[in-house]
Structure 1
Amino acid sequence: MADGEDKDSKTEEATEKKIRDTVEKGKLPHSKEAAILTSFVAILVFTVFYAREAVLSLSVFLSSFLERPESWPMDTETDVIQLYSMVLAEIGRAVVSLLVLLVVAGIGASIFQNLPQFVGERIRPQWSRISLFQGWKRMFGVQGFVEFLKSLAKVGFAITVLFFALSQTHRQLLNGMITSPVEFVQVIRSIAVQILVAIVFVMAVIASADFVWSRFHWKRDLRMSKQEVKDELKQSEGDPIVKSRLRSLARDRARRRMMTAVPNATLVIANPTHFSIALRYVRDQDAAPVVLAKGQDLVALRIREIAKEHNIPIFEDVALARSMYKQVSVDSVIPSQFYQAVAELVRVVYSNKAERRRVT
């Protein structure tokens, strides 16, 4: 009952993350019928384009062997092995094209369905693969029953189509029996082509249906409940405690970076204890004053301490400090509405520097 309720609760489509994780584990939709279809197509191509020459070549070799057996010595073990190797080589040459086509067809069917990728999870030993109980469930469970029905339907459909396709082949066989062996081979080849065309047609229909079903079934199995979607969203956004800790670390890093920049400031504007803003303005380098650091309360006091240690002028202006603190950003130039007020302070700084140079 719990399983049924659990399946009923999975009403949401799978998220991109779940699909990506499933693909990375190698759990992809796969139609077995597509591979069978491509195999029969390969056999059909071989029969149409290569079988005649391959069979004739093999027939010539076998006829010479059978008609003149005395020309093949078999007195020693070496003679037998040599003859055996020659026969195997001739048979190999006859079927090598078929083997190549089958390999190409198998690889093509896999690539057509899913791009190849290495998945270590698929080769990792798992108890469920050798468990008798799990094997029994796979064979006699719902999925096994569905596969059994698919096999029955496939066999029934194939028999029906083949029956209609080959209803007249017995006449071809009877007519071929009164012809020469070479012509009879052509009759057999023609019948084989008819059989293969019928099988390919049947498998094309079955493979198309199975291809669509496998993907529908795969997406249905990936469905998630509303709670799973919420949990995944929460996980992707991060735990609130962890996020708070990360924000705290980011603030600490930004604060340390600001403090290291304060010694390069031209002046500091402060609201005696609550706000401090460190500004840099270098003629011919900065188009406008740049905010190097800003802080409130303890951070503001620390900025003032560093400024005093490096003899950086500090201007106490309550209204200006409070207003600037709310509107400026670190590593950015000040807004234009503060240009005039800050320019007057910069002018004082440069005047004091010029006065000190004259005194020295």
Structure 2
Amino acid sequence: MSDTDDQDSKTEAPSDKKVRDAVEKGNIPFSREAPMFASIVGILIVLAFAARGTTKTLTEKLSLFVNRPQDFRLDSGSDAIALFHAVALESGQFLIPTVIILAACSLAASILQNVPSLVAERIRPQWNRISPVSGWKRIFGRQGLVEFAKSLFKFATMTLVSILLLKSEQYKVLNAMFTDPSLLPELMLTMAMRLVSAIAIATIVLVAADLLWARFKWRSDLKMTKQEVKEEYKQMEGDPMVKARMRSLAQDRSRKRMLAAVPKATFVIANPTHFAIAMRYERSEASAPIVVAKGKDLIALKIREIAEKNGVPVIEDKPLARSMYDHVEVDRMIPPDFYKAVAQLLFYILTRSK
């Protein structure tokens, strides 16, 4: 069966158990565009708040290499190392806040989508991740087409925004060649902020659509076939055939235990062939007779056979046997409604035995 046919057969909504199992295995809806959008916002924050002051400071420090190169000694390897450390320190003061802001924005975008959790299943080596066939399906399948469409949209959006921005700022760019070079960083920063802001606004629609698509595709991939629903129901509730078999075994054990108690009965009340109730009465055990066995049809005949074989009196009383069968339970005392009728039978048995 092809993947398309298999997907078409999945017509049932995913059960709570399947959703829960998928989440436990790390299979959660995730939009890759959200962290990208968060990175763009992070870049905008850096340009608006962090880059302005640090860029000016970094430019002033690095301009010394051009304006006063004689101030830097490079007579030995140690001089080169010291110079490298100085440049790295100045650059680090500019880059570290930028990296922290970008990382924080990306983490926030991921955490807001789903609660983070450690899932070993996601890092376990799997053949389908390196399989050429699986890779081909991912590239040219539905998901691959969606990713291609998103990439094409991003490329077209960024290209269009860049062209429109550069076209609107072309005179400022040309005039910058005839202005003080120290003003170039401010001009570049302003243009960069406008460009990133325009890209962020343009990609909001893409991010919103991708969030919805990620959750829709996740739910769609988790859909189940009718057979899968039946199998899961069997696993949760138990296989009906197994349950029926276990019920049958339990009834057999209960029946054998009940028939084993018939020889200890005091007497048996029977409808000749349909019902039989075996009772035991000992004043030291209970204040009323206790039902040790009951049955109808074949079980009733078996109770009578065991009773007669062991010398237990069998009294035929059709109305009483039928009525008691519906109202008494094995290993329980008879209800008070039957005290008088059973007492008369006990009196009859005791007087006859004397």
Q: Quick check: TM above 0.5?
A: yes
2: CA distance, partners of 1:20 / 1:5: 25
Q: In structure 1, what is the Cα distance between the partners aligned to 2:279 and 2:166?
A: 94
What amino acid is the match of 1:138? R
Structure 1 residues 135 and 340, CA gap change in structure 2 (3 angstroms): closer
For the residue of structure 1 that corresponds to 2:121, the secondary structure is helix
Deviation at 1:77, TM superposition (A): 1.7
Give the 3-state SS of the residue equivalent to 1:167 in structure 2: helix
Aligned to 2:99: 99
Distance 1:68 1:153, change over 3 A: closer
Residue identity matched to 1:44: L
Aligned to 2:112: 112
Equivalent AA in structure 1 for residue 79 of structure 2: D
In the alignment, which residue of structure 2 is the partner of 1:223? 223
CA distance 1:189–1:243, change in 2 (3 Å):
same
Matches within 5 A, 1:309-328: none
CA contact (8 A) 2:293 2:330 kept: yes
- In the alignment, the residues of structure 1 paired with residue 332 and residue 155 of structure 2 have an alpha-carbon distance, to the nearest angstrom, of 75
Contact persistence 1:173–1:188 (CA under 8 A):
no
1:188-207 paired onto structure 2 within 5 Å: 188-207=188-207
Where does 1:233-272 land on structure 2 (aligned, <5 Å)?
Answer: 233-244=233-244, 247=247
**1:214 is the counterpart of 2:237:** no
- Deviation (angstroms), 1:95: 1.3
The residue number in structure 1 matching 2:155 is 155
Secondary structure of the structure 2 residue equivalent to 1:50 = helix
**CA distances 1:199-226 after superposition (whole Å, capped 9, x unpaired):** 1112211111111122222222222233
CA distance in 1, matches of 2:192, 2:144: 33
User: How has the CA–CA distance of structure 1 residues 194 and 251 changed in structure 2, closer, same or farther, with 3 Å as cutoff?
Assistant: farther
Q: Which residue of 1 aligns with 2:40?
A: 40
Using the alignment, how far apart are the partners of 2:68 and 2:251 within structure 1? 96
Structure 1 residue 327, shift from structure 2 partner: 5.4
Aligned to 1:87: 87
Tell whether the 8 Å contact from 1:166 to 1:194 is kept in structure 2 after alignment: no
1:166 Cα deviation from its structure 2 partner:
3.8
Which string of whole-angstrom CA distances, capped at 9 and with x for unpartnered residues, describes residues 302-340 of structure 1? xxxxxxxxxxxxxx9x99998787557899999xxx568
Of 37-46 and 114-123, the range deviating more from structure 2: 114-123
How many residues get paired? 324
CA contact (8 A) 1:22 1:28 kept: yes
Contact 2:58 2:91 in 1 (8 A): yes
Q: Which residue of 2 aligns with 1:132?
A: 132
Question: What SS does structure 2 have at the residue aligned with 1:27?
Answer: coil
Secondary structure in 2 aligned to 1:116? coil
The structural deviation recorded for 1:126 is: 1.3
CA contact (8 A) 2:25 2:119 kept: yes
Stretches of structure 2 lacking an aligned partner (at least 5 in a row): 256-265, 282-287, 304-314, 343-354
1:243 Cα shift? 2.1
Residue in 2 that maps onto 1:123: 123
The one-letter code matched in structure 2 to 1:207 is: V
* Aligned 8 A contact 2:33 2:207 in 1: yes
- The reply on whether 1:27 has 2:27 as its aligned counterpart is yes
Task: Give a deviation string over 1:198-255, Cα, whole Å, max 9, x none.
Answer: 1111221111111112222222222223333233323322112432455578789999
- Please tell me whether residue 185 in structure 1 is matched to residue 177 in structure 2: no
Cα distance change, pair 244–181 in 1 and its aligned pair in 2 (3 A)? same
Aligned counterparts of 2:229 and 2:2: Cα–Cα separation in 1: 19
Distance 1:165 1:278, change over 3 A: farther
User: Matches of 2:333 and 2:174 in 1, distance apart?
Assistant: 99
Quote the residue 1:306 is aligned against. Answer: none
* TM-score, with structure 1 as normaliser: 0.69
Conserved 8 A contact 2:157-2:199? no
CA distance in 1, matches of 2:42, 2:330: 69
* Whole-angstrom CA distance in 1 between matches of 2:277 and 2:61: 102
Match of 2:49?
Answer: 49
Q: 1:226/1:184 Cα in 2 relative to 1: closer, same or farther (>3 Å)?
A: same
Paired residues of 1:54 and 1:95 also in contact (CA < 8 A): no
Deviation per CA, 1:180-202: give whole Å up to 9, x if none.
44433221111010000011112
Distance change (3 Å), C-alpha of 1:218 and 1:332: farther
Distance 1:94 1:295, change over 3 A: farther
Classify the secondary structure of the residue corresponding to 1:10.
Answer: coil
Question: Deviations 1:52-103 (Å, cap 9, x if unpaired)?
Answer: 1111221232234544434433222222112211211111110111101111
After alignment, is 116-125 or 216-225 more displaced?
Answer: 216-225
